[in-house]
Amino acid sequence: MPDATRRSSRQVWRTVLGAAIALAIVATAPLYLGTYMTNVLTRALFLAALALTVDLIWGYTGILTFGQSAFFGIGAYACALVFTHWGFGAGWAIGALVIGIAVAMVTAWLTGLLSFYHGASPLYSSIVTLALPIVLTQVIFSGGRFTGSSSGLSGFPTYYWKIDTWFWIAGVFLVVAATFAWLFVRSDYGRILIAIRENEDRCAYLGIPVSRIKTALFAVCAGIAAISGFGYAAFSNVVAPELAGFQLGTESLIWVALGGRGTLIGPILGAIGIDATSSYLSGNLPFLWNFIVGVTFVAVIILLPNGIASLITGAWRRYRTRGAGGGDQPRDSGIRLTAAPSVRAAAAAGRSASPPIRIDGLTCRYGSLTVLDGIDVEGKQGQLLSIVGPNGAGKTTLMRCISNGTERTGGTVTVAGTEIGRSSPQKIVGLGVGRSFQNTSLFDSLTVGDCLRLARYRIDGARPFYRSETVALPEPALEILAATGLDQRLGVETRYLSHGMKRGLELAMVLATEPRVLLLDEPTAGLTKPERTAIGHVLTRLAEEYGLCIFLIEHDLDFVREISNRIVVLHQGKLLLDGTVEEVVSSELVKAVYAGQDLEATV
Ligand SMILES: Nc1ncnc2c1ncn2[C@@H]1O[C@H](COP(=O)(O)OP(=O)(O)OP(=O)(O)O)[C@@H](O)[C@H]1O
């Protein structure tokens, strides 16, 4: 049996076994728990499902949300309102559940549109999610007898099943939700969530539609939270504004933080542990329990900053990497590299009358500071164009204005005949612009293989519950991986790579997006002489053989002279000279700029 097939069938068996063990625990727990604890734990199981969604949003994707309780409350109130005012029965129950899920998902989708648009700061989305439960609570308060106002609704008809039955329903729901969440976070999509958490900008510059993915995740998690809220209300037979309130939203964050962000098991343990302990202590130690919970929280945050689950996950990771000789050692990644159809062919097919890139009258101002002033440049296919100039000349700003439509103040940038307008970076990547940054921009906790797979998202897509075993890369990307030895380190997390390897990986990732225009900001900074020579070789081939148009910012003028076929000199935001290497090297004006002389006197 091939390795990949064996690995994936092992994964399936592990998942099935884990779910079976969890279901067995759920099935037998009421036999040894008393009625009181079964009751307490049933409530905790519904809340654990809420915590699970908070973990997907905050733990995995890095969006600090205070508003998940709002969706829980919507599900709970959908149940209570329908059963109180309209009717009770199987049909009404299904109708109420569907209404709860639909209202929660639409609310989450609208909230996502408001919070996650391109350019919105993470703080802004946190504030929007903070406002959501507050607004919803006010709506409930102002609902009068319909919503029960501050007293809520109670005593509505529901299924008065035995407590054990409710426990099983809550337990099975949690196991099913956790199993799907587990399969999801291990899939290609799960890697995208982690990538967004670690480096959202890099995701956008790989063409990943970050805003859309965040909004979709928010909506799906809202649906799950609404189901748990519905179950909670049907079980407890009482709803109150607190179920949709800000306090429950904050408590769910504490459960996740205590249990362990980004671990799935952590939030479940955190929610069940704290809720069950609080219920127990609030009866036996009514004046002390809040204090005890508070002290425990502080102690865990200080002693185990990654939560209680880090004890388990840390031990598991140490066990796994011990056999492989440590996290930085090459090990089986489960990924195979293959060759994607040649970009040479794509470049030839894409050859059109329009130049790959054309910049007209580009201006960029920050307040009264003019950083770029009327820049006109046209990049041709197969041209390696170096942009040089003293510090602060505006070189990096020029790259930013090309790769992000919202950066410039005036002028136009046209990529292969299409004006970029105010497009976001991911849309501009779609036009064929790839960018590497001055400081290497990767995903620390993802492996080399995962990073490459992410880079192919725009072209190959990703499936929600599937982890692909192969990554198809264009020829130049494969060459860079082979030259830097990265093809032997696909399973190594990028934080363990050397500086040179990180540079190589970033370049390979950008090339994996199959750009026609490549923007490289000091790609050789901090590299050794042999590494610089190797990169220079690759860049020359990219331009000459693959027809890419490369804009290169570089301070090393000897390197620039060796590899460029055209140089643009920027000085104080203006284009000083645009010419061949010989013209620029022999220019008195350029010598004066680099010598720091007064330009007026030179001219
Ligand atoms: N967001 C910003 N707000 C205000 N000023 C900015 C901003 N970004 C850049 N600048 C200013 O614009 C000028 C040009 O910066 P830029 O980084 O483009 O220069 P550079 O030529 O790339 O320099 P270096 O070679 O040092 O990287 C600098 O004076 C910088 O302080």
Class of domain 338-602: alpha beta
- What is the rounded CA–CA span in Å between residue 224 and residue 108? 12
Question: In sequence order, what DSSP letters do the residues of 528-557 get, joined into one string?
Answer: -HHHHHHHHHHHHHHHHTT--EEEEE-S-H
With the most atoms of ligand 1 within 8 angstroms of its CB, the residue from 395, 409, 521 to mutate is: 395
With the most atoms of ligand 1 within 8 angstroms of its CB, the residue from 362, 363, 397 to mutate is: 397
- What is the rounded CA–CA span in Å between residue 377 and residue 386? 12
Identify the bridge partners of residue 577 per DSSP, sorted by sequence position: 569
Identify the bridge partners of residue 359 per DSSP, sorted by sequence position: 377, 413
Nearest to residue 560, comparing CAs of 522, 508, 519?
Answer: 522
Question: Does residue 413 sit in helix, strand or coil?
Answer: strand
Point out the ligand 1 atom lying closest to the alpha carbon of residue 573: 14
Residue 146's contacts (CB-CB under 8 Å, 6 or more residues apart) are: 81, 85
* Radius of gyration from C-alpha coordinates of the chain: 29
Measuring from atom 9 of ligand 1, which residue has the nearest CA? 397
Reported ipTM: 0.96
End-to-end CA separation in angstroms for the chain: 74
At residue 277, the pLDDT reads 84
- What is the rounded CA–CA span in Å between residue 140 and residue 146? 9
Q: How many residues does the chain have?
A: 603
At residue 350, the pLDDT reads 53
Every domain range in the chain assigned CATH 3.40.50.300: 338-602
The four Cα atoms 567, 369, 412, 114 give a dihedral, to 10 degrees, of 130
Question: In sequence order, what DSSP letters do the residues of 456-497 get, joined into one string?
Answer: THHHH---TT---SEEEE-HHHHHHHHHHTGGG-TTSBGGGS
Number of C-beta neighbours around residue 228 at 10 A: 26
- The position carrying tokens 């994707």 is 61
- Residue 391 CA to ligand 1 centre (angstroms): 8
The four Cα atoms 194, 197, 198, 199 give a dihedral, to 10 degrees, of 110
Report residues whose beta carbon is within 6 angstroms of any ligand 1 atom: 366, 369, 371, 389, 391-397
- Give CB contacts under 8 A, 24+ apart, made by 455-460: 455/206, 455/508, 455/509, 455/510, 455/512, 455/513, 456/512, 456/513, 457/188, 457/192, 457/206, 457/207, 457/208, 458/206, 458/207, 458/208, 458/426, 458/429, 458/430, 458/513, 459/340, 459/513, 459/514
At residue 603, the pLDDT reads 45
Measuring from atom 29 of ligand 1, which residue has the nearest CA? 392
- Residue 252 CA to ligand 1 centre (angstroms): 42
Distance, C-alpha 486 to centroid of its chain:
24
Amino acid in position 109: W
At residue 43, the pLDDT reads 94
- What is the rounded CA–CA span in Å between residue 179 and residue 555? 52
- What is the rounded CA–CA span in Å between residue 62 and residue 210? 12
- Residue 353 CA to ligand 1 centre (angstroms): 34
Distance, C-alpha 275 to centroid of its chain:
30
- Please, are residues 209 and 426 in contact by the beta-carbon 8 Å criterion? yes
Which parts of the chain have pLDDT scores under 70?
A: 1-8, 320-333, 342-353, 597-603
Convert the pLDDT of each residue in 217-238 to its tens digit.
999 999 999 999 999 999 999 9
Number of C-beta neighbours around residue 137 at 10 A: 22
- The position carrying tokens 């709860």 is 100
Nearest to residue 73, comparing CAs of 228, 215, 187?
Answer: 228
The maximal CA–CA distance of the chain, rounded, in angstroms, is 93
Number of C-beta neighbours around residue 291 at 10 A: 11
CB-count burial class (<10 Å; 0-12, 13-18, 19+) for 509: buried
